[in-house]
Structure 1
Amino acid sequence: MQAVLDALLPHPAYLSNLWWDILAHNQPQEDWFPWLPYERNLMRFAFLFPEAREQLVNWRTDWAVPFLAQIRYAIATHPNSRELIRLRDDVLAGNEEARELWAAHHAMAHPDGDVRRFRLPYHQGEEVRVQIMAFAPLRNQDLRAVVLLRV
């Protein structure tokens, strides 16, 4: 999968597991997301690190609500996953706003096709719009590959 991610240059791309640990990524992903060296879990970064609110434009509506909906869907489809339950509990324990949003009971499978915005700290705070392209390798559909295409 690393070869596939590298072939997607210049677009940032990553591979994550069922509970959003980033298992592999290409260089543009690291250039856009300087948090990767200290937090390998996308959801924990989004909810437990204050800089996420700056980097993920429209954090509450465009990121937090859909991310929580994805966590809820993942738990519904994998109810015995201790890692997913731990992720949910960590996010809700560490973020008061997430607890409030969780009560809305939204669920969604994936962000494939969504258009969202990022603010890039390593690029003088440049704001970019991307379309999220998500897919799963057939050999393990609990993995997800995500490519961020500038639009």
Structure 2
Amino acid sequence: MNAELPDTPHMITRVLRAARERHGLSTDQVAERCGVTGRWYRALESGRPRRHSNALLTTVSDVLDLSEEEYLVLYRLVGTQDLPAKVMAPQASDPVPPRIRTFVEGVEPWGAYLCDYRWDVLAHNDALARFFPWIKEGVNIAEWIVNDPNAPANLINWETDWALPMIAQLRLHDEQWKNDSRMQAVTQSILSTAVGRRLWSSPELPTLSYPAAETTRQLRGLDARRYDVSFVPLMPLQLPWYRFMAVMPAWRSPATVTRTR
């Protein structure tokens, strides 16, 4: 039986409401500045499914002074869909091109992996397995972070630094790819657990879905030491549904990860 989605605000609601409240504006004031009716703007902020022109979304962005990432959330959920269907919902069986696989496996000394927008691991290198021995092709990153009982012991500040940002990303992708059966299966897997449902509805859920590359997080290695790392995301231009991730030390030496005593 599928788990029901908790009654929580849409990601677009969280982004627009937070931006509006930063400026101390009511919905009617935003609507007036955008040149639209209050009813139209409230429908937009409520997350009702409808597509809008780039010009109109740009106006909303300018009025609310949205950051680049906030605008990206707005566009991805209600902007004009001008990308091919294959890009919006590629098949799960699409093979990883050999050169991209070779690149991922050859990234050293840092850990690296390739996943799709569903967080299914498609390729990884040996260096990553030294931090995440559970990693293998077919494993889902989101499900492991939220559902695996070992994750809180391996990921320092598990809930605030790892699980909640992951849930914020999941909610965005869940809304964007509602017709993707695999994406929905991942969501249902996480919502089938009490922890997943609690995090999904958490008032501490980040408004922004993707932590900046400069964000430092800690994990516990196989040697039981704490390591400070940053995750640097990249997207192959010809394969925009792929996510390449490099796990880099938080300091500048390329050979050694900073160790926290």
If the length of structure 2 is used for normalisation, what is the TM-score? 0.53
Per the TM alignment, residue 99 of structure 1 is displaced from its structure 2 partner at its CA by 0.9
Per the TM alignment, residue 98 of structure 1 is displaced from its structure 2 partner at its CA by 2.2
Contact 2:124 2:137 in 1 (8 A): no
Unaligned runs of 5+ in 1: none
Could you give the per-residue CA deviations for residues 46-69 of structure 1, whole angstroms, max 9, x where no partner exists? 122111111111111011110000
Q: Structure 2 CA distance, aligned partners of 1:109 and 1:36?
A: 23
Do structure 1's residue 130 and structure 2's residue 229 form an aligned pair?
yes
Structure 1 counterpart of 2:125: 26
Contact 1:39 1:45 in 2 (8 A): no
- The secondary structure found in structure 2 opposite 1:61 is helix
Could you give the per-residue CA deviations for residues 53-87 of structure 1, whole angstroms, max 9, x where no partner exists? 11111111011110000001112222211111111
- Determine which of 187, 210, 214 is the counterpart of 1:110: 210
The percent identity for this pair of structures is 26
Within 5 Å, which residues of 2 pair with 1:1-150?
1-37=100-136, 40-94=139-193, 96-104=194-202, 106=206, 108-113=208-213, 114-120=215-221, 122=222, 124-150=223-249
Q: Structure 1 CA distance, aligned partners of 2:211 and 2:238?
A: 21
Task: Look up the equivalent residue of 2:220 and give its one-letter code.
Answer: R
Q: Structure 2 CA distance, aligned partners of 1:2 and 1:39?
A: 14
Gap change, CA 1:4 and 1:23, over 3 Å in 2: same
If the length of structure 1 is used for normalisation, what is the TM-score? 0.89
If asked which structure has higher relative contact order (CA below 8 Å, sep 6+), I would say 1
Contact 1:134 1:144 in 2 (8 A): yes
- Based on CA coordinates, which of the two structures has the bigger radius of gyration? 2
Gap change, CA 1:58 and 1:39, over 3 Å in 2: farther
Task: Look up the equivalent residue of 1:100 and give its one-letter code.
Answer: R
User: Which range moves more in the overlay, 99-108 or 19-28?
Assistant: 99-108
* Pairwise CA RMSD: 1.8
- Give every structure 1 segment of 4 or more consecutive aligned residues whose post-TM-superposition deviation is greater than 2 Å: 104-112
Task: Look up the equivalent residue of 1:85 and give its one-letter code.
Answer: Q
Contact 2:235 2:242 in 1 (8 A): yes
Contact 2:104 2:112 in 1 (8 A): yes
